[in-house]
Amino acid sequence: MTTDIATKTQETPNQNFPPSDSRERFKKFVMDLQDQICTGLEEVDGKAKFQEDAWQREGGGGGRTRVITDGNVFEQGGVNFSEVWGHHLPPSILNQRPEVAGHEFYATGTSMVLHPRNPYIPTVHLNYRYFEAGPVWWFGGGVDLTPYYPFVEDAIHFHQTVKGACDNHHPEYYPAFKKWCDEYFYLKHRQETRGIGGIFFDYLDSRGNLYNGPDPDGLAAQYAKNVGKMDFSWEKLFAFAQSCGNSFLPAYLPIVNRRKDTEYGDRERNFQLYRRGRYVEFNLVYDRGTIFGLQTNGRTESILMSLPPLVRWEYNYKPPAGSREAQLYETFLKPQDWINYKA
Amino acid sequence: MTTDIATKTQETPNQNFPPSDSRERFKKFVMDLQDQICTGLEEVDGKAKFQEDAWQREGGGGGRTRVITDGNVFEQGGVNFSEVWGHHLPPSILNQRPEVAGHEFYATGTSMVLHPRNPYIPTVHLNYRYFEAGPVWWFGGGVDLTPYYPFVEDAIHFHQTVKGACDNHHPEYYPAFKKWCDEYFYLKHRQETRGIGGIFFDYLDSRGNLYNGPDPDGLAAQYAKNVGKMDFSWEKLFAFAQSCGNSFLPAYLPIVNRRKDTEYGDRERNFQLYRRGRYVEFNLVYDRGTIFGLQTNGRTESILMSLPPLVRWEYNYKPPAGSREAQLYETFLKPQDWINYKA
């Protein structure tokens, strides 16, 4: 199953090793991205400011957790940066990449979840990360949108912006990573997508296709078939990750600005709180990063800052037929080709 | 690791097989218990009534889910009965009991979670269940209490009542199952017990000690050492499960009655909603039954009726020093010997 790294190196000598300053460059990118995003969000909020907690990790590394609460726009949200290193990669990673066993690892990234107060503004999640362990390295991450009272034009704008960032690097990226996102952010027990998706990728490296290592979900293998020959050098992939990260504010802020003054009442608020329950269910039941973090003594408060500030559960809720709420379920919680969507 | 059932049968011929009407008798017990508990809870609530949903399971069996909402006392809660059978036990059971592979199974039980509105009344959980699969059978379950603004006298009353039910059957039951409860209902990522505990047991059968099968958590093996020779016949264990179930109302209702008229304000309500987040975290991250149910297409609405009606998360909350809230963390979210507790 696994590719012999040494052999590949001879075939593609300039592509299989990251530059000597790879860690510093990705770290600077995600720290700058954290700054850029926090500034943009504070501007649109107009009231609340991010509060920062810097923290150190015992085994090596640390981070800066930034939380915004009680804003005009954002009821609660966090934009995190972290950088960790150590001797032992966790089992969840070793299962996916057994060839890294015994190597020291380095990982850095940024992750973000924002819970707006107005039910007409979608919740959004972003995460970009970079790993190195001995001879292997990879990029991962993505961005996805979770509306409560959705608008087709918002879904199209979000996907078009993200697609634009992808298309600058390869036309096969967006369709592959969009599909991966729809499948990853899926609540099996509800038979619903988490929202309208976006993009998701993982273990993206220089192996000559999207991914050819262990693939328990069978997703990567499936999409790799669709992807033609590309330049998967570290530089190209880093440039791709940067484009993705930099497309966040243009993808999200216009939606916030369009919806932030929409009036709403108890009905919309109650539905928003109910739907936030799905976010909790996804993050605690399915999200690999969250579960791994909780079970391996990560910084709990930083991991769970993704959970909403206020959430409702209601037994056997069904949206009224023909309602805006029903429309969410019928159209927006299923994978859709938003780029070509005709209302 | 596993015991040869046939050999054990010869040693203890009258103890290793359940009576021919074992399923009917346990089913009747848990259905009657569901009725008895619902009646008792409606009486103390004085306003809301349980609404029942009867459901059928495609692979065999069904249940009756009963939910109470917007009561005087209970903001939301459910008392479920279910009975299921089929050809294939799920991997989570087969990992624990590999000898049942290939056998048809039968399982029935009742499970309950109640979320009172008044923060001075604790949340409570109960579950008693019975399994048969080929030559093996076992009982499992327990009861545990989760206070927000706790009282030592309530904790002592709850544990004394549960201990009384256990002691009628064997003096080693309560200490073993109390400790098991403290360890099972533990949130590692918070370093907190879920509440003040109660009792928990699983795979309780006629094998001559508490449990001698696969024991990934190492708990049963540890406690089995403390337990002397007992009569583990089906009849004796069924009688024990009945005593546990019947002790629920005497254990819980006096606490409800003592606390239901206590006045509270926003501070107490907000803290209750915040602490309810821990209930969600436990049920979605650790609870084997919940995770198994969600991942194997159980009836989602019945499984997740255990989640609270309204929940808050707050980044990095710390209880004020010397406060009632701090007292919860310092004294009640750690295992305590409540029977001999001196305030």
Q: Which of B190, B284, B291 sits opposite A300 (nearest CB)?
A: B190
pLDDT band at B299 (very low <50, low <70, confident <90, very high): confident
pLDDT in tens, B133-152: 888 889 999 999 999 999 99
**What is the tens place of the pLDDT at every residue in B252-273?**
999 999 999 999 999 999 999 9
B297 and chain A: CB distance < 8 Å anywhere? yes
Does the pLDDT value for residue A160 go beyond 90?
A: yes
- Cα A28 → chain centroid: 19
* Model pLDDT for residues A170-216, shown as the tens digit of each residue: 888 898 899 889 989 999 999 999 999 999 998 888 764 454 445 55
Q: How confident is the model at residue B6 (pLDDT cuts 50, 70, 90)?
A: very low
Label residue B83 left, alpha or beta by phi (over 0 means left) and psi (-120 to 50 means alpha): beta
Contacts of B281 in chain A (CB under 8 A): 284, 304
Give the percent of chain B with pLDDT over 70. 87
Picking from A297, A304, A314, the nearest residue to B313 by CB comes out as: A304
pLDDT score recorded for residue B68:
97
The answer to whether A305 contacts B315, with C-beta atoms less than 8 Å apart, is: yes
* Contact status of B190 with chain A (Cβ, < 8 Å): yes
Query: Each residue of A26-47: pLDDT tens digit?
Result: 999 999 999 999 999 999 999 9
- Are B313 and A291 in contact (CB < 8 Å)? no
Q: What's the one-letter identity of residue A43?
A: E
Q: Which of B316, B317, B318 to mutate to test the interface with A (most CBs of A within 10 A)?
A: B316
pLDDT of residue A127: 95
Query: What's the CA gap between B248 and B124, in Å, rounded?
Result: 10
With a cut of 90, say whether residue A298 has pLDDT above it: no
Q: Which of A67, A291, A305 sits opposite B285 (nearest CB)?
A: A291
Measure the CA dihedral A111/B318/B334/A301, to 10°. 0
* Interchain CB contact of B300 with A (< 8 Å): yes
Q: Is the pLDDT of residue B289 over 80?
A: no
Query: What pLDDT score was predicted for residue A315?
Result: 95
Task: Give the pLDDT of residue B220.
Answer: 61
Q: Is the pLDDT of residue A7 over 50?
A: no
Q: Nearest C-alpha of chain A: how many angstroms from B63?
A: 15
Q: Do A295 and B78 touch (CB under 8 A)?
A: no
Residue scoring higher pLDDT (A10 or B124) = B124
CA distance B53 to chain A (A): 10
| pLDDT tens digits, one per residue of B159-196 | 999 999 999 998 888 988 998 899 899 999 999 999 99
Kindly indicate the confidence band of residue A227, based on its pLDDT and cuts at 50, 70 and 90.
low
**In this structure, what DSSP letter does residue A211 have?**
-
Chain A contact present for B296, CB below 8 A: no
Helices (H), chain A: 5-11, 22-45, 91-96, 152-167, 173-184, 219-224, 234-246, 248-259, 266-281, 288-295, 300-303, 324-327
Cβ-proximal residues to B277 (8 Å cutoff; 6+ apart), any chain: A307, B311, B312, B313
Size (chain A), residues: 343
CA-based nearest residue to B285, from A186, A304, A13: A304
Distance, CA of B289 to CA of B302 (rounded, Å): 12
pLDDT tens digit sequence for A81-126: 999 888 877 777 777 778 778 888 899 999 999 999 999 999 999 9
Short-list A134, A156, A137, CA closest to A145: A156
> Residue B127: in which H helix or E strand, if any?
strand B123-133
Segment B197-218 mean pLDDT: 69
Return residues 31-70 of A near B (CB < 8 Å). Answer: 53, 67, 69
Q: Are A140 and A97 in contact (CB under 8 A)?
A: no
ipTM: 0.89
For helices A234-246 and A248-259, what crossing angle results, to 10°?
10
Mean of per-residue pLDDT scores for chain A: 88
Q: Does A296 touch chain B (CB under 8 A)?
A: no
Q: Is B21 exposed, middle or buried (0-12, 13-18, 19+ CB in 10 A)?
A: exposed
> Chain A interface, mutation test: which of B313, B314, B317, B318, most A Cβ atoms within 10 Å?
B313
CB pairs under 8 A between A and B: 84
Task: Answer with the residue of higher pLDDT: A205 or B76.
Answer: B76
This prediction's pTM? 0.90
The amino acid at A228: G
- pLDDT over threshold 60, residue B12: no
Residues in B touching A67 (Cβ below 8 Å): 315-316
DSSP B65-115: EEEEES-SSEEEEEEEEEEEEES---HHHHHH-GGGTTS-EEEEEEEEEEE
Radius of gyration of chain B (CA): 20
Residue B65 phi, psi (nearest 5): -95, 125
Residues B64-93 as b/e (b if ≥16 CB within 10 A, e otherwise) read bbbbbbebebbbbbbbbbbbbbeeebeeeb
